[in-house]
Structure 1
Amino acid sequence: MSNITLEAKNITKYFHDPTTVKVLMDINFSVNKGDFVAITGKSGCGKSTLLYILSTMDTDYEGELWIDGESMVKRKEPDLARVRNEKIGFVFQFHYLLDEFTVLENVMMPGLKLGKYSAEEVENRAMEKLKMLGIENLALKPSNQISGGEKQRVAIARALINNPQIIMGDEPTGNLDQKNSQIVFEVFKQLAEEFKQTLLIVTHDQSFANRTHRIINMEDGKIIA
């Protein structure tokens, strides 16, 4: 069985407004199970555009994307939505927690949406993830009553709820101070090394990137290292 979780083959992307501009050129790389990979580069180099394609949210590109051994090319949107829900967990710069719900309810949401397990099972899984991240004591707190660093850990627990093949992050420490950035980094490192979770993180934080397993460095829509 292949160890490759995600593979990009010759991915090229154009923007057509108002003139045609090539924003990604011939992107080729693969990510294995348990890899902790950072995608870095200056603002505007194409890293977030690439992540958007890799997450199956943008289908307007040339080339091939493979996730968990399946090609994502020419898939219908409901099928891609299922792949996103089952196989990809997302952590963004802004945590996007819903203030009116508790921490536990926020973590449960993608699990309930997937509809694969009973509400009770989803709740048990959510508590497991909160424990794993050392924040089970916050479960019943309204999500607007916890700190920024805690919110980002809740967002990571939510990303893990469906046991995805890969966690994708877009500047997940971009909004945090140094102490909380360090905590989030340690969480990611533990997920990769202890739990064999695959992580693909877009970041401009070079000290964060330098401590991952591998850096993919981009410039002007190309991988340069």
Structure 2
Amino acid sequence: MNKVVLEAKEITKYFHDPVTVKILDKVSFQLKQSEFVSVIGRSGCGKSTLLYILSTMDTDYEGDLIIDGVSMRDKKEGELAIVRNEKIGFVFQFHYLLNEFSVLRNVMLPGLKLGQFSEKEIEHRAYEKLKILGIEKEALKDPNQLSGGQKQRVAIARALINDPLLIMGDEPTGNLDKKNSEIVFNIFQELAEEYKQTLLIVTHDNEFAARTTRIIEMEDGHIK
């Protein structure tokens, strides 16, 4: 029985600008270990807002968020920052790599921030992640020497460096062509199947979503 990694319990969110609008309405679901789940829905349906709450970046909501068996409800910002760094790896539409650092160093940064291992060990782990993604040969290059698809693979390696419980993606193939989207999809699938990684990916790409293990479709702030 795969353990529950994340549980959303009746998550409700309002925006007050200037009138009060309900953006999310009692959203509830569970994510189990090694599930590869996509969240789809039209623009404005609340999927990115939901992702911000589930990633603990937005704490202004009703309901409860449980990550790895622990409620995030009343945690202080410092405690949430530790949860984000230890338990969650992020992959965004834009790779957000720092051009002043090598590819290897970019991958190492969240590991250095967490500080659980020596710098030498973090470097070794970063190489291992780049190897999984087939780009270890690019380790000493600057990010601006890489193609868009390679940059996104570096961003995935960076998300994996602390061996997170959960990878969250916000349109991770949104800037990629079909070939590179396929590469990224295959990487995610391999992470779920071989490495038991749990993935929650918000996407506009219905072809991508159709091949994930489960689709959560949103409409007007709730799960359809």
Instruction: State the 1:2 CA deviation.
Output: 6.7
How far apart, in 1, do the equivalents of 2:180 and 2:214 lie?
A: 22
Instruction: State the 1:14 CA deviation.
Output: 0.2
How far apart, in 1, do the equivalents of 2:56 and 2:70 lie?
A: 12
Query: Does residue 191 of structure 1 match 2:191?
Result: yes
How far apart, in 2, do the equivalents of 1:158 and 1:14 lie?
A: 33
Query: Does residue 203 of structure 1 match 2:203?
Result: yes
Instruction: Kindly tell me the number of residue pairs found equivalent between the two proteins.
Output: 224
How far apart, in 2, do the equivalents of 1:120 and 1:222 lie?
A: 46
How far apart, in 1, do the equivalents of 2:69 and 2:2 lie?
A: 8
Contact 2:2 2:33 in 1 (8 A): no
* Aligned position for 1:167: 167
Instruction: State the 1:127 CA deviation.
Output: 0.3
* Aligned position for 2:53: 53
* Aligned position for 2:11: 11
Superposition map of 1:125-136 within 5 A: 125-136=125-136
SS across alignment from 1:168: strand
SS across alignment from 1:73: coil
How far apart, in 2, do the equivalents of 1:68 and 1:145 lie?
A: 38
Q: Which runs of 5+ in 1 are unaligned?
A: none
TM-superposition CA deviations, 1:85-144 (whole Å, max 9, x none):
000000000000001111000000000000111100100000000001110000000111
Counterpart AA for 2:86? E
How far apart, in 2, do the equivalents of 1:2 and 1:215 lie?
A: 18
How far apart, in 2, do the equivalents of 1:222 and 1:192 lie?
A: 26
TM-superposition CA deviations, 1:17-50 (whole Å, max 9, x none):
1000000000000000000000000000000000
* Aligned position for 1:142: 142
| Percent identity over paired residues | 71
How far apart, in 1, do the equivalents of 2:2 and 2:132 lie?
A: 28
SS across alignment from 1:96: coil
Query: Does residue 71 of structure 1 match 2:71?
Result: yes
How far apart, in 1, do the equivalents of 2:175 and 2:70 lie?
A: 34
How far apart, in 1, do the equivalents of 2:67 and 2:134 lie?
A: 30
Superposition map of 1:56-135 within 5 A: 56-135=56-135
Instruction: State the 1:174 CA deviation.
Output: 0.1
SS across alignment from 2:11: strand
Contact 2:38 2:201 in 1 (8 A): yes
How far apart, in 1, do the equivalents of 2:131 and 2:19 lie?
A: 50
